[in-house]
Chain A
Amino acid sequence: MLSISMEEDEFFGEKTFQRFCAEFIKHSRQIGDGWEWRTSKDCSEGYMCKTYFQIKPGTVVSYLGTSAHVQTCLPTEEALELPLDDFEVTETTTGSEVIKYEYHVLYSCSYQVPVLYFRASFLDGRPLALKDIWEGIHECYKTQMLQEPWDTITQQEHPILGQPFFVLHPCKTNEFMTPVLKDSQKINSLRC
């Protein structure tokens, strides 16, 4: 993770962040990953943003056979496994929905780290609630997060747009990134 020295660099923290973002976005464009740069109206600050659509499978209920109850986990998609029965099975998929995720990466001058802001809504504009977000957290973070939910993901006002977003608390940026970085290092080292 970016660790920016707190000495005389603090005034350049924002500039360093913007430099790293420019590189990140350049790479994102090369791999078609969808990240863009946006500036605030007065152009003094900016942030990275990405919109992502996920089809959330609804609950699948089968009649005349064993019922297959599938719990889905945001934002990963696990393959749905349905039992193949000899019985005739009637399946209804209820409420298959598209969820729109917006991710924003801003720089916090107070903590000298990037901060992840995000919001999720259905296509009709209905937002997902905080408890939906807490419930949908990936398994590897769930235990840790449930111990101190209020210190981890909370709803906050976006400092540039002024609208409600969910935020991964800046103190947790490093903590949450470490396992991700460890995994990617493992993958990279296996390639040799």
Chain B
Amino acid sequence: MTDDKDVLRDVWFGRIPTCFTLYQDEITEREAEPYYLLLPRVSYLTLVTDKVKKHFQKVMRQEDISEIWFEYEGTPLKWHYPIGLLFDLLASSSALPWNITVHFKSFPEKDLLHCPSKDAIEAHFMSCVKEADALKHKSQVINEMQKKDHKQLWMGLQNDRFDQFWAINRKLMEYPAEENGFRFIPFRIYQTTTERPFMQKLFRPVAADGQLHTLGDLLKEVCPSAIAPEDGEKKNQVMIHGIEPMLETPLQWLSEHLSYPDNFLHISIIPQPTD
């Protein structure tokens, strides 16, 4: 029987083979070859694409370069969403590699946040971690930590150091002995068919009678249209980290093992692919 801790490693080391191609209207001094990279599912685009930027900038003139941004089939990619979430939500039904187009012009101000520096990514990441702890522990655990612990979470993510990261993150996954789980579960549910970017609500991992709530319970409460009626045909896939967990899985377990490094469960609802 696989140890639960192995799940943590599998989640951390998940990768998506990606092909980056320069947008055809970008002005180049010579032809730009596509660039291939294995992207970490748990990281952020602007954190892991320095090599991509350097590769394409080599064939461009300085004056034609401004802020880099990425797009998939016409949709600008939000760098502040984890890579694995973007892939599951937008491209999981297509064949690999994931084909991403690289832009250096015409930044879509209405759609994308700017990413002026690594500090911006760190600030966003830490802001998510803090929000997750506000939900799980009324911010008690994160506030008790020293600044260097916060820094260690970020450095662990930035440098792909599983042990360094989890040395601190394990404290964010604890709960008082007398409880059966966190106060509320940090989660966001994404669907491309809705106008809202995501659904997020207060939801307890344990019911009043002490029963553990499941993934199915969460969906029924927050997003009932996502799950098919019992005798109906399955319309959607409920995906986290590229897999479809059973709806009977306890939410508390999912939160402890399948959260992203920001401590949120990012759940994609996508149409069932028709083979």
| Residues of the B chain whose Cβ atoms lie less than 8 Å from the Cβ of A111 | 131, 134
Q: Which of A109, A160, A162 contacts B201 (CB 8 A)?
A: A109
Asked whether any CB of chain B lies closer than 8 Å to the CB of A41, the reply is: yes
The answer to the question of A78 belonging to the interface, with a C-beta cut-off of 8 Å to chain B, is no
Q: How large is the interface on A (under 10, 10 to 19, 20 to 34, 35 or more residues)?
A: 20 to 34
Known contacts A110-B135, A150-B120: does B127 contact A41 (CB below 8 Å)?
Answer: no
Q: A154-B123, A155-B113 are in contact. Are A109 and B80 (CB under 8 A)?
A: no
Q: How far is the CB of A167 from chain B (nearest CB, A)?
A: 9
Chain A positions near chain B (C-beta within 8 angstroms) = 6, 10-11, 40-42, 109-111, 126-127, 129-130, 150-151, 154-160, 162-164, 169
**Chain B residue at minimum C-beta to C-beta distance from A6:** B138
**Are B197 and A154 neighbours in the complex by a CB distance under 8 Å?**
no
Cross-interface CB contact of A157 among B80, B123, B201, cutoff 8 Å = B80
What are some 17 contacts across the A-B interface (CB < 8 A)? Answer: A6-B138, A40-B196, A42-B194, A42-B196, A110-B186, A111-B131, A150-B119, A150-B122, A154-B120, A154-B124, A157-B113, A157-B197, A162-B196, A164-B109, A164-B110, A164-B111, A164-B114
B207 to chain A, nearest CB (A): 14
B176: interface (CB < 8 Å): no
Separation of A40 and B200 alpha carbons in the complex (Å):
13
Whether the pair B109, A154 counts as a contact (CB closer than 8 A) is no
Q: Which of B27-58 contact A (CB under 8 A)?
A: none
Task: Please give me the residue from chain B that is nearest to A127 by CB atom.
Answer: B109
Residues of A close to B198: CB separation below 8 A: 159
Which of A157, A158, A159 contacts B78, CB < 8 Å? A157
Decide: A41 and B200 in contact? CB cutoff 8 A: no
With A155-B114, A157-B80 in contact, is A162–B124 under 8 Å at CB?
no
Q: Classify the secondary structure of A's interface with B.
A: loop
Q: How far is the CA of A42 from the CA of B196 in the complex (A)?
A: 9
B116 at the interface (CB under 8 A from A): yes
For the complex formed, measure the closest distance between the CB of A46 and the CB atoms of chain B, giving whole angstroms.
13
Residues of B in contact with A (beta carbons under 8 Å apart): 78, 80, 109-114, 116, 119-120, 122-124, 127, 131, 134-135, 138, 186, 194-198, 200-202
Q: Is the CB of A110 within 8 A of B110?
A: no
- Known contacts A41-B195, A109-B201, A110-B131; A163 and B111 CB within 8 A of each other: yes
Asked whether, in the complex, the Cβ of A162 is within 8 Å of the Cβ of B200, the reply is no
What residues on A are CB-neighbors of B78 within 8 Å? 157
Closest to B132 in A: A110
A156-B127 Cα distance, complex, nearest whole Å? 11
A10 and B202: CB pair below 8 A?
yes
A107 to chain B, nearest CB (A): 11
Neighbouring A residues of B201 by C-beta, 8 Å: 109
The distance from the CB of B124 to the nearest CB of chain A, in whole angstroms, is 7
A158 proximity list for chain B (CB < 8 A) = 197
A169: chain B residues at CB < 8 Å are 127
Chain A residues near B197: list those with CB within 8 A. Answer: 157-159, 162
Contact B123 A163 (CB under 8 A): no
- How far is B131's CA from A10's CA once the two chains are assembled, in angstroms? 16
How many angstroms between the C-alpha atoms of A10 and B200 in the bound complex? 14
Contacts of B116 in A (CB 8 A): 130
Q: Which residues of B contact A6 (CB under 8 A)?
A: 138
Cα–Cα distance between A111 and B78 once the two chains are bound (Å) = 24
Q: How distant is A19 from chain B, measured CB to nearest CB, in Å? A: 18
A6, B78: Cα distance in complex, Å: 33
- Inter-subunit contact A11/B196 (CB<8 Å): no
Sample of 14 more A-B contacts, CB < 8 Å, known A111-B131, A169-B127: A10-B202, A109-B201, A109-B202, A110-B134, A110-B200, A126-B109, A150-B123, A154-B120, A156-B80, A158-B197, A159-B196, A163-B110, A164-B111, A164-B112
Task: Give Cα A44 to B248, complex, Å.
Answer: 27
B112 proximity list for chain A (CB < 8 A): 164
Looking at the assembled complex, report how far the CB atom of A39 sits from the nearest CB atom of chain B, in whole angstroms: 12
Which A residues lie within 8 Å of B111 (CB)? 163-164
Q: Which residue of B lies closest to A155 (CB)?
A: B113
Contact flag A11-B114 (CB < 8 Å), given A111-B131, A150-B119, A157-B80: no
Q: Which single residue of chain A is at the shortest CB-CB distance from B80?
A: A157
3 pairs of A and B residues whose beta carbons are closest in the complex: A150-B123, A162-B197, A110-B131
**A86 CB, nearest partner CB in chain B, Å:** 47
